[in-house]
Amino acid sequence: MFVYLDNSATTKPYTQVVKTMMNALEKDFGNPSAMYSLGIDAEKLIRKSRESVKDLIGKGRGEIFFTSGGTESDNMAIICGAMKNGKRGKKIITTKVEHPAVLESMKLLEKRGYDVKYLNVDKYCNIDISEFNRELSDDVALISIMAANNEIGTVYPIQDLYEHKPPNTIFHSDCVQALGKMRLHHVDLMSFSGHKIHGPKGIGGIYIKKGISIHPYIVGGGQEKHMRSGTENVPGIVGFGKACEISRKNLSDDGCEKISKLKRCFKENIENEISDIRVNTPENSLSTILNVSFLGTKSEVILHRLEEDGIYVSAGSACSSNKKGESHVLRAMGLSKDEIEGALRFSLSGFTTEEELDYTLDKLKKAVESFRSIARRR
């Protein structure tokens, strides 16, 4: 049996997405900037896809600009947002558990003289609201807090945090993991990625609220209203748009609730069948993510044992080239070395079935028992 449970790393594209992209590659290959019909048709597809993204996030008073993915969108929002608002002050607020695209952008800004405050999290990856409030001041240029954590699944109270920010502070939220899995609250800047919602890789977007001004990220031919120059990736954009259409329908049809029930059942079965574990994902979490530490094991060994049985899971985030690095998220949560070393992330999708999870539980139980048995004999 083939079981893919690493949907937080990337997702299988919908069949409709692939067909839409193929059509754009074969027939609608014109340059959207061209003045003849082939270019105009391509531009219409971009316009339609832009509306599909807006429909999924909930139409607010703002615009969507297409990028090459979540990393570029995060970089653009944070670096350009902070520099545009730099006259207000040099202070930035974020958390210790953000995606590397956010944290590395913060490091770059620190080198340019910005003072970045990293909020702590508890053992379930929740931030301390009182600490957030204490850091608020008139010199805060930018706040960047993710909508949901990509390793643990913890959902953050973005709307409440946004309402407490100083009036002229720009608020950014990395919504890459949350898009299509929960209803989003509009803030000043939001980042998205296509391949996390069964769309193509290499395409993403940034939402910029009306009235918020940031510097362009890539200059050149003036595409995307001069916010992100470069000939548009039409096949990627239409694929992203189609994925947003389908994701919106799934949200409306309680697709997330179906996944949530599967995750809840899987979690309970793990708790009942396997001893000495710690469930790292809290109740208030995305329907798709379950992070569990199997004490007395090494997650990489269990991961490869499961791979032999056709099951694909993660030992952490797959969005970094640091394949064997310790999870900065689990470390920030204050977990023990044993808890960190034995942590696995199971991330579900609408394609996941009860049969697949039952099969995974059986193989997981055997893998954990086998590892512990060998470890005891040493």
Residue of 80, 175, 244, 319 marked active site = 319
Give the list of residues 6+ apart from residue 198 with CB closer than 8 angstroms, or none. 11, 12, 13, 14, 17, 243, 246, 247, 349, 350
Strand order in the sheet with 189-193: 62-67, 204-209, 189-193, 170-174, 140-144, 91-95, 115-119
Q: Considering only the C-alpha atoms of the chain, give the largest distance between any 2 of them, rounded to a whole number of Å.
A: 74
Residue 184 and residue 178: Cα distance in Å, rounded?
8
Check if the beta carbon of residue 171 is closer than 8 Å to that of residue 188: yes
Is-catalytic flag, 265?
no
Check if the beta carbon of residue 96 is closer than 8 Å to that of residue 151: no
Active site residues: 319
